[in-house]
Structure 1
Amino acid sequence: MTMNNQEWSIKIDEELKTLVDKSAESARWSRRSIYRIPATVTELNKRAYKPQIVSFGPYHHGVDYLKPMEEHKRRALLHFLKRAGKTIGSCVDALTPVVQDLKDAYDQLDARWQNDTVAFLQMMIVDGCFILEILRATTPPDQPHPQDRTPAEEPAGGEDYASNDPIFSKHGKLYIVPYLRRDMLMLENQIPMLVFEKLVSIQNDPSLKRGNELTRRLLKFLSQPISPKQFLHFGKCLHILDVYRKSLLLEEPRTRGTHSKGAKPGDVHHGGDEIIRSATELNEAGITIVKSKTRSLRDISFHKGVLKLPLVVVDDALESLYLNMIAFERFHVGAGNEVTSYAFFMDNIIDNARDVSLLHECGIVQNALGSDKAVANLFNALSKDVTLDPESRLDDVHKQVSAYCQKRWNRWRANLMHTYFTNPWAILSVIAAALLFALTIVQTVYSVMPYVVPK
């Protein structure tokens, strides 16, 4: 029912009185880290953003096709409590003081969860314990510490589950866990890291209580191992997707006095148009593409005609993973734009299967999809409807490459390569023409020599 002007004025005046100051409003936004993805984004690839077999958190809880996994989550909760020697009340007591912080982490949280704190808390406990049990069964600690073990502690792994358990057996690890891992990396399917931290504090697993062992175990589960030096700079994470994203952006700490071989501060490049060429065109312009020393998305540079790019393994899960990380960067203020910039950069240098084949030869793209065309289509789809930050880390590399391609000699070389060396017949024609020209010169010399050097 539409309000009249007087009612509307009263309502606005009341809201004005409750308006908080800027610092309080900033604190409110800073607690938000998990977002609903709008239809304008999901309609481009709906499957990439929706979990396939399990729900975590409130956004997809109770969806019919995800309900079968609830039985397994409840069973994992019971195993968690039995091993820890705790009651469910211990979990409730650990999470109750932070329940509002957990709610605030979700963007557009339904009124059902806002009003029913008990149901929300139960969901957080069940989902959190299930993920911790998955980690425990699949990624035991690398170096156990006997002094940390207690008599009540069971051996790490899935030994306390039945050998034919659908999830925690060898069979489940092979056929089910990979799909669980994929669902854990969807933005709408996250739970705050705070949930895991509180549950770890009450469980009987000393190995997870040492420093950032939980994050280390998550990285191992996600197949993202990092060096000890890198781990020192890892920092605090918001949720599992944030853990994975940060693992892609780590760089080896530089020693004092060393600098990257990129542009110097203050350098200005005037490259004409700023559209970067495809990998094939860059190669024709004389640019050498090589693999970076690390797999960090920040390890991209251009120096003296050499473009360094990190290795990327393209499989069935990559598109969904990158789309969710791009969505996180899009909606979370302050997250950065490194993944978005990388996807945009790769879309520019990959136009077709020829570019993918060239990057594969250079050691940049490891194709697990089988078809080079499929890989090209994947990268071309990643940056659809994406806004690129002009101050991104890759913007300078972009300008350097563009400026290099615009130099007269490089343009001439690229045109020559594209015109005469794109296929074997063109190459043969050039060789034949050069040979014919050489023979003509020799014939001319022999014809003129009797007049220049008489007998």
Structure 2
Amino acid sequence: MAGKQHVISIEGFFRREAGAGETSSAVTEDAQTHSIFIESTNLEAKINTVMEARKKVTPSPAPKIQKVIFVLRDHKDFKKLYEPRTVSLGPIHHRNDKYQIGEQYKLVLTYEFVNGSKEKLNCLYKKIGENINELRDCFEKGVIEGYDDETLIWLLLVDGCAILQYIYCAVKNKFEELNIKPDSIAFTQQDLFLLENQLPYRLLKWLMRWSGNETELKKSIDKYIDSHVTVPLPEDHSSILRCATPSSLSRYLSKKSKQQQEKQDDGDAIHLLDLLRTRLLHKHQKNKPEKSTKDASKDTSSLSNLQSYRNVQELQAAGIHVERSKKENTCLDDISFTKLGCLGFLWLPPITVDDSTRPKFLNLIAYEMCLDFQNDFAITSYVSFLDSLIDEANDVKMLRKAGILYNCLGSDQHVAQLFNEIGTDLVPNSEIYSDIRVQIQKHYKNQLMTWLAQVYHDHFNSPWTFLAFFGALLALALTVIQTWYTVKCPPGPCKR
């Protein structure tokens, strides 16, 4: 009976808990349904991620100001090459305490830019504020994250005015009036052309226009950029710009011809580094003839097997001489190849190498590697081509003697090492210089040309050896003629 009661009580328990059991069952079903819903939602989200991926990699109309791409950030000298040394410009390094001294100099330059006028400074602040959304769009989102409008407006105002006044003072040689030392000038010059230290060029154009001194400021930018571009250098090489003092820089710029001062179209410039790249390549054309797609693919596919020479010395041994380009206004890609008999001539534009060369080229290369910058990797291709010619100090020496390379860095070995380091891990455009590489390789592999060039190099490398050979050849010819006349000449009257 007790067992029965127990059973009944159990049955009663289940009856009493029926409602609760139904609720529990419902909860289980809801949990399962919720689990299925989460699973389907996650899958749907993943599918949507794939669908949206193509849009995210679509390039923007213009490259954004951004950090150096991740593949370069593990470089052993990253901070030295890609981060500012004295002054931070723009939002990327603005909050770094190490640049606080530079902030004071920027305020001094800003004061000079507005001529000490509070009203003008306030006016510029308001005008930038009216365009802050457009200026925000010039930066990658992660770069300006955490900057409210007020902070960003003031940052852009001070940095923009400081850049324009610095360039104006550099061209007009006015740094002494501001008690700015030459070492600070030199380091700041390098900082202006770092990828992570850029401001929108449209901001600089607006500030020039709003300042009321647009013409002079624009001229100063033109001259300053030109001083960093490969241009015809004066006969007195001691006045090379990047080896010059601020005073000699000013004198050189004042003597430049009207043709060299010709204005370049910078309306589409993104920032100063982009403007420098444009000027360096202002006549850029792919140095290759028009070919069919089939022929082009053949050449491109065989390029990896074409180059068997290692440096300038091997080219000279094969009868190829490097010469400075004869064009009046050269740019980096003014490279050509011509043949004259058994000799070949590789024409290269002049370039000055100094302490700023390495960071400047590396930041230009980093700019070309930005994912949103559609370009032909012209700077990368030029550096790669030059690196293929320079292997050791003697190659640099030969380029110096040809007037192609001006060494303001130190020993020739340092220059060779510099280009070997810059040229590491580059991915150049295989179409640029492809025709020149093919011509060089054909000449280099021609054994007859190599033999004739070797004879010329060994026996006719100076005017005296050539004159001695010509004299010996003339003497031999006269001896042969005299012998012939002696043997063949008919007997005279006295011998009959």
TM over 0.5: yes
State how far apart, in whole Å, the 2-side matches of 1:162 and 1:373 are.
Answer: 36
Instruction: Pick closer, same or farther for the CA change 1:124–1:14 going to 2, 3 Å.
Output: farther
- TM-score between the two structures when normalised by the length of structure 1: 0.73
TM-fit CA distance, 1:242: 1.6
Instruction: Name the residue aligned to 1:8.
Output: 42
Partner of 1:198: 206
The structure that has the greater radius of gyration is 2
Q: 1:448 aligns to what?
A: none
| C-alpha contact (below 8 Å) 2:322/2:345 kept by paired residues | yes
AA aligned opposite 2:368: E
Partner of 1:310: 349
Alignment of 1:76-91 (within 5 A): 76-83=109-116, 86-91=119-124
Determine whether 1:391 maps to 2:431.
yes
Structure-2 separation of matches of 1:16 and 1:92: 43
Rounded to whole Å, the distance in 2 between the matches of 1:223 and 1:232 is: 14
How far off is 1:292 after superposition? 0.7
| Structure 1, unaligned runs of 5 or more | 141-156, 253-258, 422-455
Contact conserved, 1:281 with 1:414, CA < 8 A, in 2?
no
Q: In structure 2, do the counterparts of structure 1 residues 223 and 233 end up closer, same or farther at CA, with 3 Å as the change threshold?
A: closer
Contact 1:31 1:101 in 2 (8 A): no
3-state SS of 1:201 partner: helix
Which residue is equivalent to 2:290?
265
Give, as a single letter, the amino acid of the residue that structure 2 aligns with 1:79: E
SS of match in other structure, 1:30 = coil
Q: Give yes or no for contact 2:288–2:431 (8 Å, CA) kept in 1.
A: no
Q: Verify: 1:34 aligned to 2:65, yes or no.
A: yes
Which range moved further: 75-84 or 39-48?
75-84
Indicate conservation of the 8 Å contact 2:164/2:204, yes or no: yes
Q: Report if the CA contact (8 A) 2:230-2:331 is conserved.
A: no
Identical residues among aligned pairs (%): 25
2:368 corresponds in structure 1 to: 329
Equivalent runs, 1:220-235 vs 2, <5 Å: 222=228, 231-235=262-266
Q: Using the TM superposition, name which of 65-74 and 123-132 deviates more.
A: 65-74
Query: How far, CA to CA, are the matches of 1:95 and 1:388 in structure 2?
Result: 39
* 1:150-201 alpha-carbon deviations (Å, 9 max, x no partner): xxxxxxx74xx994x442xxxx3x2321111100011111111111111112
Aligned to 2:165: 133
Q: Quick one: distance in 1 between partners of 2:127 and 2:227?
A: 25
**Superposed counterparts of 1:109-188, under 5 Å:** 109-110=142-143, 112-113=145-146, 116-140=148-172, 158=174, 163=177, 165-167=178-180, 172=181, 174-188=182-196
Alignment partners' CA distance in 2, 1:276 and 1:107: 43
* 8 Å contact from structure 1 (residues 32, 104) kept in 2: no
Cα deviation, 1:98-128, whole Å, max 9, x if unaligned, reads 3233223223534634x51221221111100
Aligned to 2:382: 342
- Per the alignment, do residues 7 and 86 of structure 1 end up closer, same or farther by CA in structure 2, a change over 3 Å counting? farther
- C-alpha separation in 1, matches of 2:141 and 2:443: 47
Residue in structure 2 matched with residue 248 of structure 1 by the alignment: 280
Superposition deviation, residue 30 in structure 1: 2.2
| Distance (Å, rounded) in 2 between the aligned partners of 1:8 and 1:214 | 57
Match of 1:451 in 2: none
User: What's the C-alpha RMSD, in Å, of the aligned pairs?
Assistant: 3.6
Tell whether the 8 Å contact from 1:219 to 1:244 is kept in structure 2 after alignment: yes
Paired residue type of 1:103: R
SS in 2 for 1:182: helix
Which structure: greater helix fraction? 2
Code of the residue aligned with 1:136 in structure 2: it is Y
Question: Which of 432, 435, 440 is matched with 1:401 structurally?
Answer: 440
Query: Which stretch of structure 1 is more off in the superposition, 376-385 or 221-230?
Result: 221-230
| CA 206–273 in structure 1, closer or farther in 2 if over 3 Å, else same | closer
Change (3 A) 1:201 1:11: farther
1:132 Cα deviation (Å)? 1.5
Q: Distance in 1 between matches of 2:230 and 2:303?
A: 37
Is contact 1:207-1:213 (8 Å) kept? yes
How many Å separate the matches in 2 of 1:286 and 1:223?
31
| 2:197 alignment partner, one of 189, 200, 210 | 189
Pair 214,9 (structure 1): closer, same or farther in 2 beyond 3 Å: farther
CA contact (8 A) 1:31 1:104 kept: no
Which residue of the partner structure matches residue 222 of structure 2? 216
The secondary structure found in structure 2 opposite 1:202 is: helix
Alignment of 1:4-83 (within 5 A): 5-9=39-43, 11=45, 29-42=60-73, 43-46=75-78, 47-83=80-116
Question: Structure 2 vs 1, CA of residues 224 and 62 (structure 1 numbering), >3 Å: closer, same or farther?
Answer: farther
**Counterpart-to-counterpart distance in 1, 2:452 and 2:141:** 55
**Equivalent in the alignment of 2:488:** none
How much does 1:380 deviate? 0.7
CA contact (8 A) 2:281 2:331 kept: yes
More displaced, 406-415 or 353-362?
406-415
Q: Structure 2: where are the runs of 5+ without partners?
A: 1-36, 232-255, 460-496
Contact 1:84 1:203 in 2 (8 A): no
Aligned pair in 2 of structure 1 residues 249, 94: CA closer, same or farther (>3 Å)? same
Who is 2:392 aligned against? 352
2:332 paired residue number: 297
Partner of 1:288: 321
Query: Using the alignment, how far apart are the partners of 1:224 and 1:94 within structure 2?
Result: 37
Give the total of aligned pairs: 380
What is the DSSP-based 3-state SS (H/G/I as helix, E as strand, rest coil) of the residue aligned with 1:29? Answer: coil
The one-character-per-residue Cα deviations of 1:217-243 (angstroms, maximum 9, x if unpaired) are 442565777865574554432111122
Aligned residue identity for 2:122: G
Task: Tell me, yes or no, if the aligned pair for 2:192 and 2:272 is still in contact at 8 Å.
Answer: yes
User: Which residue matches 1:145?
Assistant: none
How far the C-alpha of 1:407 sits from its partner, in A, is 1.9
Contact 2:229–2:279 (8 Å) recurs in 1: no
Amino acid at match of 2:305: D
C-alpha displacement of 1:360: 1.3
Aligned partners of 1:275 and 1:402 also within 8 Å: yes
| Residue matched to 1:361 | 401
SS in 1 for 2:406: strand
Shift in alpha-carbon separation, 1:391–1:107, aligned structure 2, 3 A: farther
1:68 and 1:77 map into 2 onto residues whose CA distance is: 15
Displacement of 1:275 in angstroms is 1.6
